Structures are given as C-alpha cells and as structure tokens.
C-alpha cells in the first residue's frame, strides 16, 4: 500500500490540522508516515503545501516525486492546480470551491473550475457552506478531509477517532461539530 | 518502547531532553525554531526545570550554552544557518577552549531559501572550527545522533555540530525513544586555564584541537553514521550525504543491490572511505544537500583518473535544495511529471496580515518620504521586510539582522539626508542596539523607526526581549527625549504620523520613532486564550 497525498492552501487555512488528523490515524493503524510541512515566511498569506506519505513499507523521501501523488486535497481552488505536476494520471483532486483572494489579478473562478474539470478524477466541494450547515464555519478543512476520505487508505472510523483525539482538549461540543463536518464531507463524495 | 510522531526539530529536542540536557539556548529562526518551542512546551522539561528561555541573539545563546557546559552540565544551542554567522566568534573559539559538560550546536540550513537571505552550508563551519559535524538523513537518526553527539563532546572535550536542512527540520515521522540519561552535576573544569584564551594558552589548546580533529575520525560514535554498501555492478558508485540518501533510495529502491553506495552522515571522515568506493567504480556521483563540500574535497586538481559527477559539473544544479526529481535526472532515470501548472495560476507571495500595524506604518512612511525622494529607507529582517512589496515599495535594503541602522549611518556619512532605518523590535534587541550607540556617539543625522509589534512575528510569535523596554533602552543609549517619539500605526492617526515622521527626518541628529501596535496574530491568540481561561 502506498498513499501519497499533497495538501494545499493558503497560509492560515488549516491544512496542518488535516495533516494531523491523517497522521494520528496512520499511527493508530501502524502505517509508516512521513509528512513535510511548510513553516516560516510563506505562512503569511502565501501558498502553502504539505507532502503526506503513507505506506506499509519504510518511506525514504520526505517529498513526493513528481507524477506520483495519489491525491491532492486543497483548501482553495487555484492552489489545487499549483500541484498538478505531482498528480499521477489516475490520481484524485479534491478541492474547496471557495477562492481565497488576497492577490491582484486572481483569475476568474469559472476559468479555474474549467481547468479542474479537465482532471479526470476530481471533486469540487463548497466546503464553507457545508461547514456552516454542519454548525461550524471554521471546520471547512475537516469537511474537505471527509470528502477526500474515500481516497485515503485508512478506515473512516480511524479518521473519526483521530478527530476526537485532535479536538478532544477543546471540549465535547467542538469534537461533535468536527465529526459532523467530517461525515458531511464524506456524504458529499458518496453522492 | 515509546514511539512518537515528531518533526525533525522535535526529534532533536526530545533527544536532548532524554540525553540529560540541563540548558537549551536559542534565538528563533526558520527552520530551527521548533526545537526550543518543543522544549518550552515539554512537560518533562518543565518538571526538571531545564533552562529554556529565548536569548537576545545567537551569540548570547551560544555563550550561555558554553557557560552551562563550563559548569559541567549538558547544553544545547539551536539557530538557523545565518544565526551561526552571528555566533561564529564564540563557536570557533569554543572549539579551542573545548568544553566540560557536553555541548551540541544545532544549525538548520535552508537550501532554496524558503525563508532566508542565503543558502550557506553549515558543514563549512564544522570544518572551519574543526569540530565533529553530524548530518542526519532522517528523524530517527537525528534523535540517535544527539546521544552520540553529547558523548563525543564530553569524551573529546569539544563542541559538536548537528547540521540539518529545512526538509528534515519540518518533516514528521515516527521516532523510537531511548532510555533517558540523568542530568550531570555541577562540576568545574579540571584545568583552571582551559577557558582562558591568552595567546600562550591558546597556542597549546590549538595544537590539542588539531590532534583531536584527526582522532575523532576513528571514533565509533561518529564513524558509525558513515557506511559503505557494495553493489553487483561496478560502473557507477554513489556518495550520498545526509538527506540526499533518502532521495537516492526513493529512486533506486528496486536496483539498490546493483549499486555501490557510500552514505556520509558525519564529518570529518577517514579518506579511505572515499578511496574504497573510488577504486571499485569507474565513475562517482556525489549527492549532497547544500554546497559541494565533499565534492570539492574529492575532485583532484592534478589527477583525473575517475569521472566525478556532482554539483560542480552541472549533473546536479549548483544551487537549491535536492528533491527526488533532481536526483532522478542525475541518475539518468526518467521523471514522469504530471500535468503542467495551468497558465492562469498566479504567484501568491507572502503578504502583511489583514490589519497589520507594519502595513499602516509603511503607508504613512511612504507618504512622509515622498518629498525627499526614494532610495533612503534601509530596512531589516522580519515581517516588516514585506514593505518591499507593492503597493508600498518602501524599502531599499534587507541584508542581515541589525544592518538597517548601521547602513543608514554609512549612507548619512556619504551625504544622504535624510537617511532612515526601519527595524523590528526583536531585531533591534538582537543587533540594533550597538548600531544605535554608534549613531548617538557620532550624532549621525538619521531617523530610526522601530516598528514594534511586541513579538518576534516572522518566526511565529515568540517572546521578544524588547517588549516594554524599547523606550528605556533608547534613552539609556543616549537618544534625546525630544527626538524620541511614539506613534500608534492606525489609519485614523495617519496624518499625524506623517507629520511626526517628516519633522524627525528634518532633524540633523539621531531621532527615533517607535511605531507601536501589537501583532494582530499574537493579539488574536492572546484573546482566545484569555477567553478560554475564563
Ligand atoms: C541572524 C538571524 N537570526 C534569525 C533570523 C530569523 N528571523 C528573521 S526575521 C526574525 C524576527 C524578527 O522579529 P522582529 O524584528 O520583531 O520583526 P517582526 O517579524 O515581528 O515584524 C527572525 C528571528 C535571521 N534572519 N537572521
């Protein structure tokens, strides 16, 4: 088993929480894991990405080779396209549909969507609205994780456990909201 | 058996705690910051009361670590690569004094300059100072090396350098912990002259260092991290250093038995290691993250019996960090790139956070400077360096921490008036205060604008030594009270702030404007922790 995942977004959008959930679940399942994060300068509103590698064997490189990623999970539509050189021909792209506009000349959203539609396996999800409906506008990242979960080689129940663990110290209410967000994302993809 | 999922930085921190650390010293800097942060938030460290306060800069940090080591206890100091420039005076001389308690220096390099001004390679410093240098290839090795580093440090009475790069520092993997070692007791050096580098003593100590640098090549604690593995084929042999070994294995996992590989993860190494692989193979490829340190040592000037490939002949790019694709190309393997990035994807450079006080300060500064003309604002390193970006285009320099004030002095000496420095609060206490003293003593006609957000923002909001002290420090250094102004960078104060800036620019002596408003990121965090504590 090998599962190479690129997480992308803009600094501050919470991609590291997605990585933490997958990481906790991977450890529970005794899966080898390497996860390269971006810290520092670009966290100030710049583009950020994380390479997350899961395998049943020892993993060497912290970075995913070009053309080998099985999945891109993106908090932002334009950012999802930045990592296409890494996506394998059979890979999936799961992205939020809501743009984060903090630069001049941000491209028209319909043109971005048209580019995403060129990828055979993709899911575009309005994570912000679904998160709001699930009761927590700040759980968009967990909604997207839910939507991407069918393409991650980890049992869904383990991801749920990891959400419980990660948000546990913030109280039961926050845990429940995030579990709801995770399921709402999962249901969206199942449709 | 305890197994934790740790960043490379965190693995180093956990190892130091487990290896009996008594004092951790550091100044923040990407990608090294998380080492100190991990120790500060560690329960064990707090129970044991390991010293774990930020220092004013890397030099003060290293000197404090040396003092802890003098007193017989284990100390670690961590910094980013350019921090080692600041601390290098202590670093190089500490190799000559030697140590008492074990001392480990961690320097985190940033090839490809993700968050840095340059991509210097700290292994050069190891050689320059003549100290052992470890270069881990993964998180577990980083953890294990710290134990050997402390032991080697105590055995040879020498500081030990651990060199990591961004990808290891900020990549997470599981790490198996060892049994912990108790802290050392207070114990002064046996030789009362050990640390007194008067020439007569230093000459003797230097000879000792030269001998030690030879001897350590044979020490198992150091040499065990270098290993040779023969291959079935003898055409191409590969030397892979540190993290480069991972990118190599990623590419040749299926044919690894075919290829002779020398893995280098510690320095200095014995030259027979190189001779062994070179005698077996017709060609050698050298993969190293950073400068061609090993390659330069191997490439002969007079003898050219064997083909050597690496960064110097362009087989591997001369600059930038390695990745699996670069290594594949160097090996002549195909790279199956996915789709191209669509043309509509725009760059998204870092920018000021919404509501940042630096941004309001630069809006006022840009207007205040206008009548005098561009090219006269010397800046420094921190979030406020983003004042270089449009729409502000407000600064003309960012070189090294503290250089804003001193470059403004030099430009003023040359006749540039007004000459203006913009410096952050943490940068000011790191390296700005001494420059300010120079300015005061010669009464330079400069204006120093301290953009004070009460934190070390760029590296994630660590405590700033300057907080609550800037005004007092300026007065203590000798800045006149009439020309020490405090402004609040808010849109509503814009006109007033422009007026104050212009007035001070016109003054023919040292004037200081402290532009003071809390970083909105730390303010947000403070407010949310205050409400959750209610
Ligand atoms: C010698 C050296 N040490 C550390 C760094 C890393 N570094 C860059 S900016 C910065 C923080 C500056 O803080 P401050 O001056 O308060 O500005 P802010 O980012 O808060 O605006 C640090 C620690 C560096 N570039 N050089």
For the record, the structure tokens of B483 come out as: 């020309």
Domain boundaries, chain A: 2-190
For B:141-180, CB contacts with A below 8 A are 167-168, 170-174
Residues in chain B: 534
Number of Cβ within a 10 Å radius of residue A21: 27
Phi and psi, residue B463, nearest 5°:
-55, 135
Q: Which residues of B touch A88 (CB under 8 A)?
A: 338
Phi and psi, residue B25, nearest 5°:
-130, 140
Q: How far is CA B335 from CA A3, A85, B326, B446, in A?
A: 19, 11, 9, 55
Domain A2-190 falls under CATH 3.40.920.10: yes
* Element at B273 (helix H, strand E): helix B271-280
**Sign, Cα dihedral of B452, B525, B392, B517:** negative
Q: Which residue in chain A is spatially nearest to B326 when comparing CA positions?
A: A65
Partner-chain contact B172 A112, CB within 8 Å:
no
**Residue B247 in contact with residue B294, Cβ under 8 Å?**
no
ipTM of the complex: 0.94
Angle subtended by helix axes A15-28 and A140-148, to nearest 10: 50
Ligand 1 mutation pick, B57, B352, B360, B381, max ligand atoms within 8 A of CB: B381
| d(CA A77, nearest CA chain B) in Å | 10
* B54 DSSP 8-state letter: B
Nearest alpha carbon, ligand 1 atom 22: B29
pTM: 0.96
The CA-CA-CA angle for residues B458, B460, B465, to 5°, reads 80
What is the reported pLDDT for B305? 77
Q: How far is CA B355 from CA B361, B405, B521, B527, in A?
A: 11, 26, 10, 16
How many contacts does A have with B, using Cβ atoms within 8 A? 155
Domains of chain B by range and CATH? 3-223 (3.40.50.970), 227-331 (3.40.50.920), 357-523 (3.40.50.970)
Partner-chain contact A42 B114, CB within 8 Å:
yes
B402 lines ligand 1 (CB under 6 A): no
Place of tokens 């760029």: B458
Walk along chain A (191 residues) and give the pLDDT tens digit of each residue.
Answer: 999 999 999 988 989 999 999 999 999 999 999 999 987 766 778 999 999 999 999 999 999 999 999 999 999 999 999 999 999 999 999 999 999 999 999 999 999 999 999 999 999 999 999 999 999 889 999 999 999 999 999 999 999 999 999 999 999 999 999 999 999 999 999 98
The separation between CA A89 and the C-alpha centre of its own chain, rounded to angstroms, equals: 19
Q: Which residues of B touch A23 (CB under 8 A)?
A: 5, 172
3-class state of residue B281 by DSSP? coil
B88 in contact with chain A, both atoms CB, cutoff 8 A? no
State how far the Cα of B530 lies from the Cα of B204, in Å rounded to an integer: 58
Partner-chain contact B338 A91, CB within 8 Å:
yes
Tens-digit pLDDT profile for residues B319-342: 999 999 999 999 999 999 999 999
Torsion of CA B477, B480, B482, B486, to 10 degrees: -10
**Residue B56 in contact with residue B64, Cβ under 8 Å?**
no
Walk along chain B (534 residues) and give the pLDDT tens digit of each residue.
Answer: 899 999 999 999 999 999 999 999 999 999 999 999 999 999 999 999 999 999 999 999 999 999 999 999 999 999 999 999 999 999 999 999 999 999 999 999 999 999 999 999 999 999 999 999 999 999 999 999 999 999 999 999 999 999 999 999 999 999 999 999 999 999 999 999 999 999 999 999 999 999 999 999 999 999 999 999 999 998 999 999 999 999 999 999 999 999 999 999 999 999 999 999 999 999 999 999 999 999 999 997 766 678 999 999 999 999 999 999 999 999 999 999 999 999 999 999 888 999 999 999 999 999 999 999 999 999 999 999 999 999 999 999 999 999 999 999 999 999 999 999 999 999 999 999 999 999 999 999 999 999 999 999 999 999 999 999 999 999 999 999 999 999 999 999 999 999 999 999 999 999 999 999 999 999 998 988 886 554
């Amino acid at each position: 088993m090998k599962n190479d995942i690129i997480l992308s977004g803009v600094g501050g959008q919470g991609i590291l929480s997605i990585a933490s959930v997958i990481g906790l679940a991977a450890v529970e399942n005794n899966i080898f894991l390497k996860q390269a994060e971006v810290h520092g300068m670009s966290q100030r509103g710049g583009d950020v990405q994380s390479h997350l590698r899961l395998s049943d064997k020892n993993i060497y490189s912290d970075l995913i080779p070009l053309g080998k990623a099985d999945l891109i999970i993106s908090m932002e539509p334009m950012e999802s396209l930045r990592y296409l050189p890494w996506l394998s021909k059979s890979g999936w792209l799961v992205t939020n549909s809501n743009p984060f506009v903090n630069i001049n000349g941000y491209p028209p959203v319909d043109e971005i969507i048209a580019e995403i539609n060129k990828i055979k396996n993709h899911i575009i999800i309005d994570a912000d609205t679904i998160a709001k409906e699930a009761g927590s506008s700040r759980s968009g990242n967990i909604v997207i994780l839910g939507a991407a979960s069918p393409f991650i080689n980890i049992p869904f129940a383990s991801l749920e456990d990891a959400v419980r663990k990660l948000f546990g110290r913030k109280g039961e209410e926050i845990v429940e909201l995030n579990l709801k967000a995770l399921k709402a994302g999962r249901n969206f993809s199942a449709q | 058996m305890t197994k934790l999922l740790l960043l490379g930085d965190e693995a180093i921190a956990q190892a130091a705690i487990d290896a009996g650390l008594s004092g951790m010293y550091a100044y923040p800097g990407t990608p090294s910051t998380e080492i100190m942060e991990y120790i500060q938030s560690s329960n064990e460290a707090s129970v044991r009361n390991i010293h774990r306060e930020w220092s004013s800069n890397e030099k003060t940090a290293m000197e404090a670590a040396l003092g802890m080591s003098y007193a017989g206890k284990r100390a670690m100091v961590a910094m980013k690569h350019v921090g080692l420039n600041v601390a290098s005076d202590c670093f190089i001389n500490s190799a000559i004094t030697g140590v008492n308690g074990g001392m480990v220096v961690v320097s985190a390099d940033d090839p490809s300059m993700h968050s840095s001004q340059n991509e210097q390679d700290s292994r050069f410093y190891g050689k320059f100072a003549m100290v052992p240098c470890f270069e881990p290839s993964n998180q577990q090795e980083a953890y294990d090396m710290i134990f050997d580093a402390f032991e080697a440090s105590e055995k040879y009475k020498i500081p030990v350098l651990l060199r990591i790069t961004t990808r290891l520092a900020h990549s997470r993997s599981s790490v198996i912990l060892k049994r912990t070692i108790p802290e050392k007791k207070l114990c002064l050096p046996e030789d009362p002259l050990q640390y007194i580098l008067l020439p007569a003593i230093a000459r003797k100590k230097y000879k000792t260092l030269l001998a030690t640098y030879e001897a350590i090549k044979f020490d198992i604690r150091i040499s065990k991290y270098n290993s040779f593995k023969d291959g079935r084929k003898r055409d191409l042999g590969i030397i892979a250093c540190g993290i480069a070994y991972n990118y190599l294995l990623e590419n040749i996992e299926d044919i690894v038995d075919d290829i002779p590989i020398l893995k280098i993860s510690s320095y200095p190494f014995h030259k027979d290691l190189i001779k062994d692989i070179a005698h077996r193979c017709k060609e050698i490829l050298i993969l190293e993250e950073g400068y061609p340190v090993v390659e330069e040592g191997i490439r002969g000037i007079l003898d050219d019996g064997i083909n050597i490939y690496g960064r110097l002949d362009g087989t591997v790019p001369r600059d930038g960090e390695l990745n699996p694709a670069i290594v594949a190309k160097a090996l002549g393997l195909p790279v199956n790139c996915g789709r191209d990035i669509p043309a509509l994807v725009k760059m998204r450079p870092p920018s000021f956070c919404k509501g940042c006080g630096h941004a309001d300060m630069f809006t006022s500064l840009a207007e205040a400077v206008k009548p005098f003309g561009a090219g006269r604002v010397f800046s420094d390193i921190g979030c406020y360096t983003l004042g270089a970006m449009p729409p502000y285009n407000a600064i003309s320099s960012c070189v090294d921490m503290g250089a804003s004030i001193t470059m403004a002095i030099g430009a003023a000496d040359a006749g540039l008036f007004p000459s203006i420095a913009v410096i952050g609060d943490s940068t000011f206490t790191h390296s700005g205060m001494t420059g300010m003293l120079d300015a005061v003593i010669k009464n330079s006609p400069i204006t120093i604008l301290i953009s004070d957000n009460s934190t070390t923002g760029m590296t994630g909001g660590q405590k700033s030594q300057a907080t609550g002290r800037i005004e007092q420090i300026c007065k203590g250094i000798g800045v006149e009270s009439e020309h020490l102004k405090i402004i609040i960078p808010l849109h509503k104060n814009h006109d007033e702030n422009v007026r104050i800036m212009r007035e001070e620019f016109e003054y023919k002596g040292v004037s200081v404007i402290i532009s003071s408003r809390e970083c909105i990121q730390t303010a947000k965090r403070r407010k949310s922790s205050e409400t959750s504590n209610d």
